[in-house]
Chain A
Amino acid sequence: MIPELGNFALVLALLLALAQGTLPLAGAARGTQSWMNLARPAAQGQFVFVAIAFGCLTYSFVTNDFSVLYVASNSNSGLPLQYRVAGVWGGHEGSLLLWVLMLSLWTMAVSVFSRHLPDDIIARVLGVLGLVSVGFLCFMLFTSNPFDRLLPAAMDGRDLNPLLQDPGMVIHPPMLYMGYVGFSVAFAFAIAALLSGRLDATWARWSRPWTTAAWMFLTLGIALGSWWAYYELGWGGWWFWDPVENASFMPWLMGTALIHSLAVTEKRGAFKSWTVLLAIFAFALSLLGTFLVRSGVLTSVHAFATDPKRGIFILAFLVVVIGGSLTLFAWRANRVGLGGQFDVVSRESFLLTNNVLLAVAAGSVLLGTLYPLFLDALNLGKLSVGPPYFETVFVPLMAPALFLMGVGPMARWKQAHVPELATRFKWAFAVAVAGGLLLPLTMGTWTPMASFGLLLAVWIVASSLTTLASRLKQTPGSGIAKWRAQSRSYYGMLLAHMGVAVFVVGVTMVKSFEAEKDVKLAPGESVELGGYTFRFDALNDVKGPNYVAVRGTFAVTQGASAVGMMYPEKRMYHVQKNAMTEAAINTRFTRDLYVSLGEPVEAGDGKAWVVRVQVKPFVDWIWGGCVLMALGGLLAVLDKRYRLATRRQSAPLPASDARLTAAS
């Protein structure tokens, strides 16, 4: 009964989405107020029904209703409650439902926090979101229905993939999807602006906080995924350029470009068409990412052929979304004015160069991710594109972007002078060079790679602080008042850029100075690595709720002082019968110690194991940097000027607004 209610709620949500996606758009085109007024209630109603459907599926999971095919495939009566709830988004169908729930949540948020927007704009934005929702609801109802029954019901479920039975996996997909789906709001604003023909600075201002919020969630989502891979997969890697990872990274790169491009459009009214294109592509890559990960096309091109219904729907949907919006773009974009004037050397140009680099980076990741699929589909041979390729391609693209990141915030809008910038940054640059040359020595060895990475990180910090100092100097007032006079979005940017520096330090230090050893160890023996001694003390059997495990006990010492005890496990889950490596991690501010159990060694008394021990300097800075970036995004979203716009009820000022902002 409950699954049928869920199914029915989805159908009702689809009908509401259809209403939301057609009438308000038509109303905005014809100027029919009553049709436009439909957008808000339809969006809110849709949210209610999608939430009911989501609740029904969750109920089926919690009550172990194995007559629902999706529950039987992704859960088990022995599964702990929190993972039964997380199991809702553990497979293809449920992920789609989570996607739609997030979409209706964002739509709902837009409908509530948009009182200040003109009626036709809000009708168009909600209308576009409604159409996206129609696509997803149809995809779910016609090809991937999570409520399909399994009759007769299974005795028990096939269990959730043990890899996903982890707290990190409970929150990672919702965060990631909040990000993915959030870009649909930026997309809807862009399409609404194209439709209305009012592609101006006010549009950029409306769209900015939403885009930044989406970017913030995506940043956290990716960081969580990377952290989860690090501690759960058992080999100590934090990023492997796996297609699944790339799928989330591409929209992030595009979204980062979009945020910066929106800044130019809002402040200077320039490069509007480019901003619109970025909004379209960021969303298109989010869609592609969702489908790549869940459709099975990545494991094998041929999975696509065995279930052509899903594949064809996906392709058609992508073609309609991308093709449709690009056609609209081609039709409308030539009416867009050029906006404020600026020189070849100016903050605008620096931001746009960064934009090009980020977009090219996203394009390269896309190329590397899809290349083996295309080659295989065309029967031109099987190929692996892995970390060595991506690192070779990525570092030369990102290094200049990181350099420009330091210069941009100091450069003047409209017209900057290279000699002036050089004078202002000479100390920051000197500090960066000195830091790059000397800091690697503190780790014992000097490599060009480590030196270059640290140079960039120090450069970002030093140049950002130089800019902060000069801003404070120019602000009238004294002490605290100077600091308070800077806007929240400025502090947000500063914090996010510092986050990038912290991230770069983490990546550089791990890549350059990590150490690892695979050794055969029996209880009582020990291994030495990077100044630490890992003594294998004991091996015990332990019993978990739905698994059995062997647990090693390791005592770690550094010289004469004890560092701590570490307990890596090897788990065997009852249902799916695969072995899981649970690494033990000892975290300090500047390093992680990582111990994981490999395989038991057959020879001898059977007590010896292949053990992998690793010392990972500064690895936590990678995720710390991401958290700082996200916090920066949060500060920027909370900037006063977005709320000022809410209170000011008069119609927004076109064109002249941008000029005033630039002049002030």
Chain B
Amino acid sequence: MSIFVDENTKVIYQGLTGSQGRYYGLLNRDYGTKVVAGTNPRKAGEDVDGIPIYANIQEAVDATGATASCIFIPAAGVQSAVLEAAEGGIEFIVAITEGVPAHDEAYFYNYLQNEFPNVQLLGPNCPGIISPGKCNIGITAGHIAKPGGPVGIVSRSGTLTYQALYELKEKGIGCTTCVGIGGDPVPGTSFIDCLKAFEEDPETKAVMMIGEIGGAAEEEAAEFIANNMTKPVSAYVAGVTAPPGKKMGHAGAIVSGGKGTAQAKMDALRDANVRVGLNPTEAGEHMVDIIAELGLN
């Protein structure tokens, strides 16, 4: 099984008529994702390589029965795109767009919590989600992932997610679902949301987690793992050598005054019996050991 999406998930692409939306929308369809519609109020009635374009989410949902959407809309339009998706009946919203203002993220996160508590938002500023062999929503290169299982992956970093998928594949290990939650200050989906789902998913036997400096998400995840996870976890946290007070690329990756350092995060994870690698490869090797110990190799 997979978490959040599977081979039957029907997806609407908000921004399918844009260059990024078209490129990844069609790649995702080629992978096997059910890309059933796109939206654009000015291009309703047209199509993108056979995928019908509707004026808005509501019409697209009514026509296709889609339950998920993927947002490839410039940052300025992401807030209204998220609200439109939720109001149109979408249950799982994946926002790929980077550069969304933090105040917008805080606003629509809380708006969904208050008005649409059952809607799951992933992102913004994330690579998306892939259940290898079943469904790929976002910008992950599908062929670097091995279908099946038994590992679930959750990551705050894009390229490190690909690295993790690839290293597991090289070692012959498959992945049930890989969720890139993104590095922004208010991610719609947290580590804990994913850990909880992986814990409940019978086909996921172990979880690999990739964190970054900044915030307290890894520390909170460590607490959750200690109290609620029976499945083994391996982890890597990027930014051990990052100087305090400097932003390292991601809006979220900033260390302030000793809080949110990679060291503090690694310590918290180790205390929760997570096997922490000092680099991504080492975290992958830990996972190979875990799989062997579970007798799944």
Do A and B associate with each other? Answer: no
**Which residues of B does A touch, CB under 8 Å?**
none
